Amino acid sequence: MAHPVVHAEIRSTDPDATRDFFAALFGWAYSEGAFPGYTFADTGAGDAALPTAIGPLQGGTDSVIFFIGVADVDATLAQAEKLGGTIVQPAQHVPGVVFGVFADPLGHQVGVAATS
């Protein structure tokens, strides 16, 4: 299985201010997401754009995270931990997707996601 980057998000203590900043800087517009305060950015690139969202913190601090497509989120998180990484956000199940976040041994946070 290929493992492409499939999603990116900015997790913010103030998502509205973050959206305002990127709207002013890049002209992004936003549509509502799956839960309150979580929105997807319309970057103007149509289908060529990587799905990118801005939302509230989901634990931790402000961050920018990209998500890599995997077949099994739980197995990938377990393997990351076996290789010296740490689980930042265990597997979360939301309609249509399972995702989680790990940190590599140097602390870089990376998400993994699979369609459900």
Per residue in 46-91, pLDDT (tens digit) is 888 889 999 999 888 899 999 999 999 999 999 999 999 999 999 9
How many structural domains are present in the chain? 1
CA dist., res. 105 & res. 62, Å (int): 20
Q: Does the structure show a pLDDT above 90 at 116?
A: no
CA atoms of 77 and 60, how far apart (whole Å): 17
DSSP sequence for 23-49: HHHH--EEEE-SSTT-EEEE-S-GGGS
Please enumerate, as own/partner, the contacts of 29-34 that have beta carbons within 8 Å and a separation of 24 or more: 30/54, 34/94, 34/95
How much of the chain is helix, strand and coil, in % rounded to 5? 20, 45, 35
User: Could you give the percent of the chain with pLDDT greater than 90?
Assistant: 74
**Mean local confidence (pLDDT), 36-53:** 88
Residue 79's domain is classified under what CATH number?
Answer: 3.10.180.10
Domain that residue 96 falls in = 5-115
